[in-house]
Amino acid sequence: MISPLNILVLLLEIKLFIKTTSKHFVILVILGLFLDTFFLSHEYSYAASTLQNSDYVLKINQNPQLQGSYKDFLLALAQRETGQQNPPNNIENQLGFIGKYQFGEALLKDLGYYDTPNLYIGGENGVDKNYWRGTWEGKNMINSKQDFLNNKNNVQEKAIQEAFQYKWGLIKNQLNGRSIKEFIGQRRGNVVITTSGILAAAHLCGEGGVAKLLLNNQVSQDENGTSILAYLKEFGGFQTPFD
């Protein structure tokens, strides 16, 4: 549809043109103008509005491989952790990691949800898995493993946000005074370092594994042999609160 404004502008252009140009040439030009208005105006308007959107341009320039939103990132991480397209909350793997994002005893202790003197830390301390024989602290009204698995008070979403905030701070403290932002855009093993990649890598191998990778190009693995580079690559380019 041609807007009234487009018609008015077109008529004014025609009037001005007629005064200075031959009759036959005017007819050809008028025909061309109408064709342009009918068939090209919609696409041009869409392209123009997109290009004039500074936020859109800024995001594309900063990260031409942007994968998705922070919500998309969390979903992708949960899918990877659980191995299911629709990640369930009430799930536990063979090593006793639980929930949508596969939390372990050590992390939930750090976050104040749980306590035990015999933590599972990658096979250290003589403990070969997360047994969950400790005490739940009542944070966010979570008083048992089943409360956590039931995602009471949306605890698993709260806990993953807290985990990222906590690990981000720990990574910063292990970089010998250097900023995390300094490493963004660099490569490790042909993988571009991004903020979301760092968060996912920390979830897999801990903040220490990320710091070693950034500072010394040291590649670590989790208990199942998954390389930190795999998470750095797979989850690179999503939006995060730390961008």
* 130, pLDDT greater than 80: yes
How many residues are recorded in the chain?
A: 243
Lowest mean pLDDT among 78-82, 105-109, 126-130: 126-130
Residue 65 lies in a domain: no
- Average pLDDT over every residue of 146-161: 98
Residue 240 lies in a domain: no
CA angle 166–168–173, rounded 5-degree value? 100
pLDDT value of residue 134: 97
pLDDT value of residue 13: 53
Residue 212 lies in a domain: yes
pLDDT value of residue 47: 28
110-128 residue pLDDT tens: 999 999 999 998 877 789 9
Mark whether 201 and 163 lie in a shared domain.
yes
Q: Which domain holds residue 40?
A: 4-52
Mark whether 30 and 86 lie in a shared domain.
no
Mark whether 28 and 85 lie in a shared domain.
no
pTM over the 0.75 mark? no
Mark whether 76 and 189 lie in a shared domain.
yes
- Average pLDDT over every residue of 163-180: 97
More reliable by pLDDT, 33 or 223: 223
Instruction: Tell whether the torsion through CA atoms of 184, 190, 196 and 198 is positive or negative.
Output: negative
Cα-Cα-Cα-Cα dihedral of 155, 157, 160, 165, to 10°? Answer: -100
* 85, pLDDT greater than 70: yes
Closest CA to 13 of 32, 120, 69: 32
Collapsed DSSP state (helix, strand, coil) of residue 91: coil
- Number of domains the chain is built from: 2
CA dist., res. 67 & res. 65, Å (int): 6
Mean pLDDT, the chain, rounded, equals 82
pLDDT value of residue 87: 98
- Average pLDDT over every residue of 87-116: 97
At 61, the pLDDT band (50, 70, 90 cuts) reads very low
More reliable by pLDDT, 82 or 17: 82
Both tokens of 215, joined, read 């500072």
- Average pLDDT over every residue of 38-58: 33
Mark whether 45 and 80 lie in a shared domain.
no
pLDDT value of residue 15: 53
* 49, pLDDT greater than 80: no
Mark whether 47 and 167 lie in a shared domain.
no
Residue 64 lies in a domain: no
H runs (alpha helix) in the chain: 4-20, 23-51, 54-62, 70-82, 105-110, 145-149, 155-173, 195-216, 228-234
At 56, the pLDDT band (50, 70, 90 cuts) reads very low
Mark whether 120 and 183 lie in a shared domain.
yes
Residue 62 lies in a domain: no
* 58, pLDDT greater than 60: no
Mark whether 19 and 139 lie in a shared domain.
no
